[in-house]
Structure 1
Amino acid sequence: MNTDPTGASTPTTAAATDAHANAPLVFITGASSGLGQALAAHYARQGWRLALVARRLSVMQAWCEHLQLPPWQCRLYAADVAEPASIRAAAEQCLAQQGLPQVVIASAGISHGIDTGCWEDLPAMQQIWQTNNLGMAATFIPFIGPMRTRGSGSLVGVASVAGVRGLPGHAGYSASKAAVLAYCESLRGDLRGSGVKVTTISPGFIDTAMTRDNPFPMPFLMPADAFARQAAAAIARQSSYVVIPWQMGWLARLLRVLPDWLFDWALAGRGRKPRKTPGDGQDKGGPQP
């Protein structure tokens, strides 16, 4: 797929654009892998137009070519959600070139193991929060005003069951996902009555590259395509909050009410995600426990 110097795919022919102008549009971050890519594949199969955002433009190009997506259906934007100016530029290009999306999904996220007693892990924690929290806000902001004016639209924040309680060795990620839960809840209240809906999706364990190095059991592990189908259904229903798979929803409720001593005991022997440092090349393809 051809791209222009800004990283967006080149415009399609006028005839192709006109023929599919009424197809709904979804804007997805973290689209080069993981949950973001799975969601993109699902919406592509449903005939939606795609505005896909990730740092790795070449990976998205190869994916679109593999699926043989027609040029009218997919436009790509190279951007890093951790850099507000970058994601803002991608959102503004989308608005100018494709129009206002019906759905915006903030799926980009990273997960590093953290030792909170080590100074050298502080930059990794900062990187997690910059990507998972400020990146989500920067993704939504360009679309909130236009959606309010139109009186419709869906903003979707991908959180995690890991945000329900703080997990040992996972301080940065658990804190970031707890913040996503609170942020989306606040945003939902801010937009009440505007016609703009906010959906928070908390994945459990989904089979992606991000979970495959987890050194601990992953109950109810779900294929990424099954997750995408259920997530899209929740978005279509305009659900305010959903845990996928549903079994992890019950586990999340249990974790929330466990007394501290029992929670600490239950997690005492749990394996920990490997520590990583900023710039290690981990993709921002969607958060999971």
Structure 2
Amino acid sequence: MSLPTPTTRPLAFITGASSGIGQALAGRFYAQGHDLALVARNTQAMHDWAQGQGLDPARYAVYGADVSVADSIVEAGQQCLARQGLPQVVVASAGVSWGVDSAERADLEVMAQLWATNNLGMAATFHPFIRPMRERGSGTLVGIASVAAIRGLPGHGAYCASKAGVVSYCESLRGELRASGVRVVTLLPGYVATPLTRNNRYAMPFLLTADAFAVRALRAILRQTSYCVIPWQMGVVAKLLRILPNGVFDRLLQGRQTKHRHIEK
């Protein structure tokens, strides 16, 4: 594939750009001087946001894609390569979070949908760019995980498993690509005020706005930090929870409210 002549500005390809963390990161990358490739199912929301923020139409493009469908997000990546060129940064921010009950047959389908978005969707997001980034010898792939990756939380089995998978996948990919000059950054947000957390029915310590998270996340991405928990306080909490004996950890979380199941949304 012959790529278009790149501009002097770096390009950031961001999924989940219609709201939440993805949208906040897009705003921060734009302010930093990047052009944007905005990706989500809701293309109208991305257009409305870009116009509302006064973004220069020459500096962004919108791509409609369903990250849970591999062919859909791969096609969006290929369209970006053809239209805007090879990004310097690819951020796999799209994700979903639902509580599950493995005793309920319907929730097995919910798990499959969640993993299709949070795990396979991330790999499919990176896929179109890995070979050309290797050939160029540079680029940054950013996976958005969660502190929920560090220990399994009752009622959150599918989400915790998916985010643990993100951490392991990105770690594997980081080793595969290191010699090529392509870097992999894994970000683990704590609680961030987004549509995913709006209806949580439990305390959310150290809650950040999406923009406050994006400021810190952008710093970690530009520094090519391989692994970063944001905010750092949640990293301390997570490490303490990780070293607790299982019996103590289980008693600590016994009776804790869980996230709404998909059917309860």
Q: TM-score, normalised by structure 2?
A: 0.96
**Rounded Cα–Cα distance in structure 2 between residues aligned with 1:269 and 1:222:** 25
Residue 11 (structure 2) aligns with: 25
What amino acid sits opposite 1:236 in the alignment? L
SS at match of 1:93: helix
**Rounded Cα–Cα distance in structure 1 between residues aligned with 2:106 and 2:122:** 25
Identity between Structure 1 and Structure 2 (%): 58
What amino acid sits opposite 1:188 in the alignment? R
Shift of 1:44: 1.5
Shift of 1:47: 2.1
Which of these residues, 131, 137, 140, is aligned with residue 145 of structure 1?
131
* Segments ≥4 residues shifted beyond 2 Å: none
Higher-RCO chain (CA-CA 8 Å, sequence separation at least 6): 1
Residue 190 (structure 2) aligns with: 204
Q: Quick check: 1:236 aligned with 2:222?
A: yes
Aligned residues: 262
Structure 1 segments unaligned to the other structure (5+ residues): 1-16, 283-289
Residue 45 (structure 1) aligns with: 31
Q: Quick check: 1:131 aligned with 2:117?
A: yes
**Structure-to-structure mapping, 1:48-127, within 5 angstroms:** 48-127=34-113
**Rounded Cα–Cα distance in structure 1 between residues aligned with 2:188 and 2:241:** 14
Residue 244 (structure 2) aligns with: 258
What amino acid sits opposite 1:210 in the alignment? L
CA displacement, residues 188-222 of structure 1 (integer Å, 9 cap, x when unaligned): 11112110000000000011121111110001001
Root-mean-square deviation (CA), in Å? Answer: 1.4
CA displacement, residues 81-101 of structure 1 (integer Å, 9 cap, x when unaligned): 111111111000101110100
Structure 2 segments unaligned to the other structure (5+ residues): none
Comparing both structures, which one devotes a greater share of its residues to helix?
A: 2
Q: TM-score, normalised by structure 1?
A: 0.88
**Structure-to-structure mapping, 1:170-209, within 5 angstroms:** 170-209=156-195
CA displacement, residues 13-32 of structure 1 (integer Å, 9 cap, x when unaligned): xxxx99x9111100000000
**Rounded Cα–Cα distance in structure 2 between residues aligned with 1:178 and 1:146:** 28
